[in-house]
Homo-oligomer: A and B are copies of this chain.
Amino acid sequence: MSRLSQTWNQHVVKKENKALVLKTIQGKAPISRAAIANVTGLNKGTVSSLVSELIDEKLIHESGTGKSSGGRRPVMLLLNETAGFTISVDLGVKSILGVLTDLRGNILSEKKIRFKKKDFDDVLTLLYQLIDELKNDAPESEYGIVGIGIGVPGVVTTEGEILLAPNLGWKKVPLQQILFDHYHVPVTVENEANAGAYGEKVYGVGQMSNELVYASISIGIGVGLILEGKLYKGLRGFSGELGHMTIEKDGANCRCGNKGCWELYASEQALLDQAQINGFDDATVEKLIEAADQGDTKAIQLLENVGDYLGVGITNIIHIFNPEQVVVGNTLRQAEKYIMPAIEKRIEKNAIGFNKNDVVLNVAKLKKHSTVMGIAAFNIEKFFEETGRETVLT
């Protein structure tokens, strides 16, 4: 017979409590042992012994004494953020953006490589190059590079295989495996919108929200779902294909085979296509915003029109999930001045009261870093989980 589910014993208890202490330090540093005991409800002695293990493992360290509140001065504890580093990459359609972060998510180094040739082998060469450069920038540390992660504009399985990246022309690329074989450190490969959602949740505008929907509006539309504080991925990791939600039954044909897909009306591509029709040659999002800033009514109208269509889809999102926040990110975020009011107007007009009252609409706070920071958060989380699992002997 096979094992049904986890059994609960003292090992699990210790692991969970240790993780809880670490998380508390992560979130509230600098903090004393006594304060941790208070916050978590654990006994002072228990906290002391767990803290001393964490110090032995170099994951945290003491940092002098704090202010007394009428008695002995507390010894403050800090996360040892330079115990290891992550390499976190946003693999886009035209460029690769990579950062080296410490264990608190501080960016220590940043590289960007633009590319034109999209064949996988060419891009992989550039990716190796970028990762190697970032690796060289990492200071000496206890744990070194603890994880490498890549955000990808495509459909990614829970095993880190890219099934399809339409705007790169890739199919069935087992990227996670390829990178693991090359670097021999934990590798995460995740959809770009999922990563963006997590980035905004952990480091961005969504830190207080447990129900958050992140809409990544770029050439296409992808959506990342944070439900009950965690990333929701569906059965095999393909949730969030809301770009291919029908908002016009039997509307225009989409290359996905469906008709009337949201992204046909509300994406960067849709905007640029409309711009073309309206006489803007070689239009880009940046150029259109500039035109709008200078009072070009046609440009303003084009942007507002995309905003309106975005509002239709976001209203659906609000009805489906009853979220606390909807966050708009990726390239079209730059046009926030024009699209956000249009989105809000549509929501105001169409969304059901109960759901509407709960929700806040925001622009991605991390801007172009939403995805890389989400990837960094995955890397960091995975590292802390794994060090918790096997009690590191010293």
Q: Which residues of A contact B (CB under 8 A)?
A: 1, 3-5, 7-10, 12-13, 16-17, 20, 24, 35, 38-42, 155, 163-164, 210-211, 223, 227-228, 232-242, 244-249, 256-259, 265, 309, 312, 315-316, 319-324, 349-355, 358
Contact = CB atoms under 8 A, between A and B. Distances in A.
9 tightest Cβ-Cβ pairs between the two chains A and B? A234-B322, A238-B322, A241-B319, A8-B13, A258-B350, A8-B16, A239-B322, A211-B235, A245-B316
Nearest to A18: B8
Contacts of A320: 223, 239-242, 245, 320
Contacts of A321: 234, 239
B319 A358 contact: no
Contacts of A7: 17, 20, 40-42
Given A17-B7, A235-B211, A349-B257, A247 B246 contact: yes
Contacts of A319: 241-242, 244-245
A5 B17 CA distance: 10
A323 B235 contact: yes
Tally of this chain's copies? 2
A315 B40 CA distance: 45
B227 A351 contact: no
A349 B258 CA distance: 7
18 contacts: A4-B41, A9-B13, A10-B10, A12-B13, A13-B13, A155-B354, A227-B227, A227-B232, A234-B321, A235-B323, A236-B358, A240-B320, A241-B322, A245-B320, A246-B315, A249-B265, A258-B315, A258-B351
A38 B245 CA distance: 46
Nearest to A259: B350
Contact of A350 (B41, B239, B257, B312): B257
Contact of A13 (B10, B39, B239, B244): B10
B235 A358 contact: yes
A171 to B, nearest CB: 11
A153 to B, nearest CB: 15
A352 B3 contact: no
Given A1-B39, A40-B4, A232-B227, A244 B322 contact: no
A249 to B, nearest CB: 5
A235 to B, nearest CB: 5
Contact of A312 (B239, B249, B257): B249
A241 B358 contact: no
B24 A4 contact: yes
A5 B40 contact: yes
